[in-house]
Structure 1
């Protein structure tokens, strides 16, 4: 039950082994929905709980590091991008495209590109070099075990679990449907095509119940699942920036990586996929990008979201 856009998706080739007796639920002090392995977590069922994985742990072993200006905030690296100017035009919801279709397409593409970047620095991200999933001095992400107790994992193990969890969600036809249905995105009733104040009865939502992606055949938990996936991808970005950015520089990939991250954040702002607290490990970088005007006119895409 999917779109023409989503039908072109490629499935990620990386298939790391699944963890046993560990749950990706919980996060930043919030509760989780329980469950073992990768069966729990955000969007796993209509009654699913919080998004996957544990939260930041202050006073962790990484807290002993000297607080210095991160390399990714230094010039000229922080001003290195492939795209000059605002990213607004590439995040706005296209007319006649269902919002669920647009979220699904972009979530997959961000995951695919982040997976590729991690593959580039993976040989440096080892249990010895990264004994915890650090996101800056004094901040570690933790995982919840089967008893919902936070546990520190080496960064490569944590990221392996995250990539597998996301891959499982994307490949779940009940969450990210790819089979064609009678629904098309190219209709005048598509929310992104409607003018402010237009009647919503054209959407076929006679019962008054609606959700992001309904028009495109996505389940009611789809938006929450996307938020859980986005939260985990941000944590991988944070670890790479804080721990492996020197390797990104060594391979002259900083412009590519910065551009991907700006696009990722701009899309999140447009569709409200990340909570303010999630951004804390890279808030200074995001503010720097904002000062450069990379998020300029981001409000131009919001009216479409407010109509829905």
Structure 2
């Protein structure tokens, strides 16, 4: 399976209210939207060209290779701030005042800490992308009929992880001087899922303000801006 750049047991739902029924607090200032940060990237080309399906490549093959790559890159990006994402600092999985809940295979709703949620996500995706019956790597092996729905599920969960990094750990990302990598990864991911309609726009709407900025081509004068 060429790479360019997870058994469906779990179910996702989200709530914009706290478990006690109270509305979430007023929205905090989004530091990741400040121009000094949004302009920082590590590429200077149109990401749209990077995600378009090549003529000679099968759609499922393209989705598989890119989804696997995004999983690895987002997992790596999260690992850079994982020491700051603890049960004490992130007592729930949040992004833009949205709380994400985990539903297990029995449909039991669980409000877990962010690191627990991310661990559930990464373990589930790892299981899927390494399953030869779902993500085949051998020539002639067919993709299952449920493949596209599984890819959509994976992408939805990976979006939650990216959104949480921005919402809860952007300051640490900047301190590590990795905002350019995060911006580029996020923009590439959003352009990809939009190209193939892999995530409901209602799902990603909480980050539309960021998407509108980082997914737009950089002005010619800034084409070579990279991390400082």
Report the more deviating stretch, 229-238 or 216-225: 216-225
The 5 A counterparts of 1:69-88 are: 69-88=29-48
Picking from 67, 80, 95, the partner of 1:120 is 80
Mapped to 2, the partners of 1:145 and 1:90 lie a distance apart of 35
| Residue number in structure 2 paired with 1:179 | 138
Paired residues, number: 216
* 1:252 is aligned to 2:182: no
Cα pair 2:9 2:104 within 8 Å, conserved = no
Larger RCO, structure (CA 8 Å, separation 6 or more): 2
Mapped to 2, the partners of 1:112 and 1:286 lie a distance apart of 21
Moved over 3 A (4+): 59-66
Picking from 201, 208, 214, the partner of 1:289 is 214
The 5 A counterparts of 1:22-37 are: none
TM score, norm. by length of structure 2: 0.86
Question: 3-state DSSP class of the match of 2:103?
Answer: strand
Cα RMSD (Å) of the superposition?
2.3
Picking from 43, 50, 53, the partner of 1:93 is 53
Question: 3-state DSSP class of the match of 2:150?
Answer: helix
| Residue number in structure 2 paired with 1:304 | none
Mapped to 1, the partners of 2:135 and 2:91 lie a distance apart of 34
Mapped to 2, the partners of 1:63 and 1:152 lie a distance apart of 16
Change (3 A) 1:145 1:103: closer
Change (3 A) 1:146 1:98: closer
| Residue number in structure 2 paired with 1:54 | 13
Report the alpha carbon displacement of residue 280 of structure 1 after superposing the two structures with TM.
2.2
Q: Which runs of 5+ in 2 are unaligned?
A: 219-228
Q: Which runs of 5+ in 1 are unaligned?
A: 9-23, 25-37, 42-51, 182-215, 295-308
Mapped to 2, the partners of 1:79 and 1:59 lie a distance apart of 34
